[in-house]
Amino acid sequence: MPQKTKHTPMMEQYFGIKASYPDAFLFYRLGDFYELFYEDALEVAQLLELTLTSRNKNAEDPIPMCGVPYHAAAGYIDTLVEQGYKVAICEQVEDPKTAKGMVKREVVQLITPGTVMEGKSLSAKENNYLAALAYTDTSYQFAYVDLSTGELKATELTEEASILNELAALQSKELVLTSEIPASVIEQLEKRLGLLFSEEKEQLETTEFLFLTKELPENLKNVTLKLLTYLNKTQKRSLDHLQPALSYQVDHFLSIDYYSKFNLELIQSIRTGKKQGTLLWLLDETKTAMGGRLLKQWIDRPLIQQKQIEARQNQVESLLKAFFERADLQEVLKKVYDLERLAGRVAFGSVNGRDLLQLKTSLQQVPFIQTILTGINEGQWTALLKQITPLEDLVALIERGIHEEAPLQITEGNVIKTGYNAQLDQYREAMHSGKKWLAELEAKERAATGIKNLKIGFNRVFGYYIEITKANLVNLPEGRYERKQTLANAERFINPELKEIETLILEAEEKSVDLEYQLFLEIREEVKKSITRLQKLAHGISTLDVLQSFATISEKYQYVRPTFNQSHTLKIIDGRHPVVEKVLGHQEYIPNSIEMDAKTFILLITGPNMSGKSTYMRQLALTVIMAQMGCFIPAKSAELPVFDRIFTRIGASDDLIAGQSTFMVEMMEANQALQQATPDSLILFDELGRGTATYDGMALAQAIIEYIHQNVQAKTLFSTHYHELTPLEKELTHLRNIHVGAVEQEGEVVFLHKMMAGPADKSYGIHVAKIAGLPKKLLERADYLLVALENGEQAPKVAPEVEQLSLFSESNEVEREVLGELKALNVLEMTPMDALNALHQLQKKVK
């Protein structure tokens, strides 16, 4: 960058401001544009496809420059922030008319991926969390906030993996580092999550911030205060909507690690990265943005307290039975806007008249919600009804003050209703009367001059004027008007009477707009006093919305209420995979039961590929998650223990981003389960050990099964292709073999997609290859090799190039007849004696 001394005072000012925001694009306000210079201009012109120009074009070193109109800047800023950049908004902070020298400018807001308050990058049904991380010798301190809703929470984490789990669950885009963090942690987070890292080492301890953190344990206060300091520095405005910080513990919820959530496709499809095809997609029948966000939080954090789960189940059952009331409730909820984010914008000072009208409409639905819930309440809704209280005072204030057709801008008038303020009404009367006086004056002057097309008009530059066409100037009495402006075809004049009316009207308009703005700010401040009440109401309504969503899908897909036990008994009769069933349809899906009594720890699953083993395992995990969220589940009946953690290894998803092979990922995930699982956990291992040599894999698989059986004793589903492991059932008392049924008919395999007791008799791998469409010659060779290997023979290394001799001579008519009869035999439907008799007859014919 050139030396500051070579530049104008304006550029000197720019350099001074830019120096404080080196990691952000500086949108520097000049008149009606935001301008960017130097490296910012070069990069932003490319990112936003803007025209790159230059300042001081004739100078030795012209300054690269690009800009966007200030009224359209929001869209450009959204695009940059969505791509992971920071944008500093620099505005004039004094009136140019009164400025001495350079107009003073300051950055009024720093917009970052974690601090977005509105715009296209803020999805209605998703939170936008900004997280902060600190490190001490023994643990990590973690805090997060959603600036748009005011949610603020903190926790302590003892493992690096837990940081990844939390950030992935929150889908944070930005992490504020508040102390030195181990490089290994930063590297992992960068590789896996692509976070934007910011730093904040200062710690403001204002009265407001100390109040927000007063309920936190001492060890979590510093990281939370630094997070709040970062918000204060970047946003430079009121944060009154932030809720007092709550501490939480990750082990107070059903723990599901980052890999398991990914494998189970809870909120994001592995194939597309989208919501469709996920558990969230299935469960989301919410009618409000707030409900959609809360549902996502419940999926991330299912409950582990049986009483809490059953309380939610009672509420879902209540709504399930009340069909008509639920339908009415859904219609009312559709009229409720995003109360959480409206409250945030009120505190932030970005709310407009239309936002307040949305707030009024939302609050007007509360009495209807109360009536519906009270009508079906048998005790299960009493606590929630205390949160859902109407705010009649706010409804009345907005009803009285805000015009029904208020514009988006709050500085251009027509926001406040007539009748709200006497002074404003007087100004409006003056404007109305002035326009009447103008019409009367125009009629009077036409009569006096005899010029019928004389007209009184207005423009922003010259104000009010009397316009006479040039053809009629000869009819104008000399000295009647004072000349104001000359046009090609007309002359414009003024007279004392018009000047007087103009003064009255313009003064009334200017004062009216200023007064409306002040009145709007007063109404906004009054609403601001009720932010806590609004947030409490928002939480109550969003909770109700998620519960009605559960009731709706439970009815739609014929789900049942599971029961819970403390005896480690798991019994799901005719369970279904909820997402696969939605895709296939209820009639097409083949249900499967899963039964494990208190003494059964492991189900060893064998069976062919493509037969449904992985689906069976995912089905159990999703059923457990749904049940512990309080939702009903896809089954004929179900009895479950309450699980504390779920570990999965399903599918061969290489962690290529982190440079790890399938086998390494398998072993890491297996290790996590073996180290952290308890007898209350659920472990799902799908074909563990396949990523290495056969004997290695088989040895590891057996050792892992034995370790789980003897040391962990968690409920475990372990699928394998190693049939050599099935004899373990005789040695391990808490292990049972089950398999996926399949039958062969006339050389074709048919998968039954049904789980059956005992081990599978073979793997049907070649049949699966046939379904996949491999060449016939290749399949025949594979069959030949398989028979040889099964008989303990040494198979030829290379297939013979000459065609194999036919079993029967084509020229022998008897042999052709025997071959035809042999092909026609249906061996599966013959008794052993019938088969022997048929074989004897065929042999006689050949001889």
- Measured CA to CA, the distance from residue 567 to residue 397 in angstroms comes to 57
Contact 33, 70 (CB under 8 A): yes
125 annotated as ligand-binding: no
Residue identified by tokens 């008149």 is 31
Max distance between CA atoms of the chain, in angstroms, equals 140
20 annotated as ligand-binding: no
Angle (CA) 181-184-187 rounded to 5° is: 95
Helix axis angle for 366-376 and 531-556, nearest 10°, is: 50
- CB under 8 A, 24+ apart: contacts of 675-680: 676/645, 676/647, 677/645, 677/647, 677/708, 677/712, 677/714, 678/644, 678/645, 678/712, 678/714, 679/568, 679/712, 679/713, 679/714, 680/568, 680/641, 680/642, 680/643, 680/644, 680/645, 680/714
Q: What tokens appear for 381 in the block?
A: 């809704």
609 annotated as ligand-binding: yes
- Measured CA to CA, the distance from residue 292 to residue 289 in angstroms comes to 5
Q: What tokens appear for 718 in the block?
A: 């372990």
- Measured CA to CA, the distance from residue 567 to residue 599 in angstroms comes to 10
Angle (CA) 533-534-538 rounded to 5° is: 120
Q: DSSP string spanning 21-73?
A: -TTSEEEEEETTEEEEEHHHHHHHHHHHTPPPEEESTTSSSPEEEEEEEGGGH
CA quadruple 595, 280, 282, 549: dihedral, nearest 10: 100
- Measured CA to CA, the distance from residue 739 to residue 761 in angstroms comes to 9
**Element at 197 (helix H, strand E):** strand 196-199
- Measured CA to CA, the distance from residue 89 to residue 100 in angstroms comes to 23
Q: DSSP string spanning 624-650?
A: HHHHHHT--BSSSEEEEEPPSEEEEE-
Residues with Cβ within 8 Å of 813's Cβ and at least 6 positions away in sequence, in order, are: none
**Element at 468 (helix H, strand E):** strand 463-469
238 annotated as ligand-binding: no
End-to-end CA distance of the chain: 101
Number of neighbours of residue 381 by Cβ within 10 angstroms: 22
Residue type, 471: A
| Nearest alpha carbon to residue 634 among 684, 704, 562 | 562
- Radius of gyration (Cα) for the chain, nearest Å? 38
- Measured CA to CA, the distance from residue 306 to residue 628 in angstroms comes to 8
201 annotated as ligand-binding: no
613 annotated as ligand-binding: yes
Contact 109, 77 (CB under 8 A): no
477 annotated as ligand-binding: no
- Measured CA to CA, the distance from residue 501 to residue 759 in angstroms comes to 99
Residues with Cβ within 8 Å of 317's Cβ and at least 6 positions away in sequence, in order, are: 551, 561
- Measured CA to CA, the distance from residue 531 to residue 172 in angstroms comes to 25
608 annotated as ligand-binding: yes
- Measured CA to CA, the distance from residue 847 to residue 590 in angstroms comes to 50
Annotated binding site: 607-614
Annotated binding site for ATP: 607-614
